[in-house]
Amino acid sequence: MADEGLEKHLLAGMDERRRGFTRTVEIERREGVFRAIFRYEALVVESASAENAAAALAEMVKSLHERGYMQLRTRLNFVGGAYLGSQEPWVEYPDPERPFEPEGRLVGLMRRMWEMLTGR
């Protein structure tokens, strides 16, 4: 059985379509392990089991990074029934480095046309 209201964190960042968002992440504890649960539009991401809340959040953020989410940060908002508001600091999760992706043919053509028109 889950401990209701164990922790809730705010998660802010940009989704895969580069839209800003802020949503709640619930931390559950079942049978001694922690799990982070994030709901955004039709997406539900649940972390793998972890030994503490911070590890569960990190696992969930890693999964979101793999889906193209960027500039992610979390802040503890509720502990049990106690509302913390903005008392806690944000925890930043750096974006993973992406390998260089060559530009598509259309983008390359547009870039070359722009360079010809502007003389750059």
pLDDT tens string 14-31: 999 899 999 999 999 988
Mean pLDDT across the stretch 90-102?
80
**Pairing label, strands 82-83, 43-46:** unpaired
- pTM across the whole model: 0.76
116 or 79, greater pLDDT? 79
pLDDT in tens, 29-71: 988 899 999 999 999 999 999 999 999 999 999 999 999 999 9
- Residue-by-residue DSSP string for the chain: ---TTSEEEEEEEE-TTS-EEEEEEEEEEETTEEEEEEEETTEEEEPPPBSSHHHHHHHHHHHHHHTT-EEEEEEEEEETTEE-TT-SPPEEEPPPPPPP-PPPHHHHHHHHHHHHHHT-
Is residue 52 within 8 A of residue 26, CB to CB? The reply is no
